[in-house]
């Protein structure tokens, strides 16, 4: 078995029942949630997996000591990560998801009737298993008959499927352990090669308050390959500093800050965060972040 990390989520739960998320990518600060009940606690082939029922954030998925999902606020992340690239594309049909084993991104993609094929490459079957058991409102994304699941390295899959996908979404954890390669230039090159002409990539882009030293060089390194590279963001209380970004890159087409399509009235009523107005606004960065990333 391949073990990348020895961090145990249970070790971050104090005797008085609080989970304290303390990570090396956000030194000097912590996010704390009151634990009601531990639902799952074990190691998979790749990482430590903890699921607990929280006092007021629903069920919480923690990988290697880092919060990935809470039922209370995950929609702000998954709706924006999914609908920015899909509504920026005039006719998305084939969509690839790298990571995203909780199923929430799949659930959002399934709202687009033009999509004919949804492929997910998740390295860790264990994440899918606990999500189906303890996060069923998210994992119902796996139930759509357009979804095909591959338990494998996404880079290997893309190498065998070049110029195939209209949109590629990488829903990854932080650049430590098995997810570290997803923040490196070769992985972005693999995504570029797997895109159709006029395709769009959207990846987890870390936090402008904490990780400008990661964001700027990555964007700079891929700007010579992709036609346009932008940074958008969303707010989410249980991620470090309450914000997380998306690197949105295109192949043989312009920027994605203006949606090419908008949700129907029926779909918009189902969404809790994304709107066409917020789509455009999410690309407008504070002055400090714009300077640090792009100037």
Return the closest-CA partner of residue 257 out of 133, 80, 92, 97.
Answer: 80
DSSP one-letter string for 103-136: SHHHHHHTT-TT--EEEEE-S-HHHHHHHHHH-H
Return the closest-CA partner of residue 49 out of 68, 72, 25, 26.
Answer: 68
Cβ atoms within 10 Å, residue 85: 27
> Which is the catalytic residue, given 64, 124, 171, 174?
171
Residue 153, C-beta contacts closer than 8 angstroms, at least 6 positions apart: 121, 123
**Would you call 147 helix, strand, or coil by DSSP?**
strand
Cβ distance 141 to 107 under 8 Å?
A: yes
- Hunting for tokens 């591959």 — which residue is that? 150
Is 171 labeled as catalytic in the residue annotation? yes
Active centre residues (catalytic): 171
């Amino acid at each position: 078995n391949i073990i990348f990390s020895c961090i145990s989520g249970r070790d971050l739960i104090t005797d008085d029942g609080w989970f304290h998320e303390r990570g090396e990518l956000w030194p000097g600060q912590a996010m704390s949630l009151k634990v009601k009940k531990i639902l799952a606690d074990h190691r998979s082939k790749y990482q430590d997996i903890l699921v607990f029922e929280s006092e007021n954030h629903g069920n919480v998925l923690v990988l290697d000591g880092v919060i990935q999902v809470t039922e209370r606020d995950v929609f702000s992340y998954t709706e924006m990560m999914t609908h920015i690239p899909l509504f920026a594309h005039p006719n998305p049909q084939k969509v690839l998801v790298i990571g995203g084993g909780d199923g929430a991104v799949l659930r959002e993609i399934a709202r687009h009737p033009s999509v004919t094929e949804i492929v997910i490459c998740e390295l860790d079957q264990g994440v899918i298993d606990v999500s189906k058991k303890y996060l069923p409102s998210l994992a119902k994304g796996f139930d759509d008959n357009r979804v095909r699941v591959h338990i494998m390295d996404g880079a290997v899959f893309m190498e065998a499927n070049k110029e195939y996908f209209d949109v590629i979404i990488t829903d990854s954890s932080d650049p430590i352990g098995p997810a570290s390669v997803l923040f490196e230039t070769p992985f972005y090159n693999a995504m570029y090669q797997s895109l159709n002409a006029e395709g769009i990539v959207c990846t987890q882009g870390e936090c402008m308050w904490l990780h400008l030293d990661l964001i700027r060089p990555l964007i700079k390194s891929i700007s010579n390959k992709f036609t346009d590279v932008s940074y958008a963001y969303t707010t989410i209380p249980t991620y470090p500093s309450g914000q997380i970004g998306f690197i949105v890159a295109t192949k043989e087409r312009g920027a994605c800050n203006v949606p090419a399509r908008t949700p129907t009235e029926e779909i918009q009523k189902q969404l809790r965060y994304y709107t066409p107005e917020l789509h455009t606004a999410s690309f407008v960065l504070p002055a400090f972040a714009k300077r640090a990333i792009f100037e």
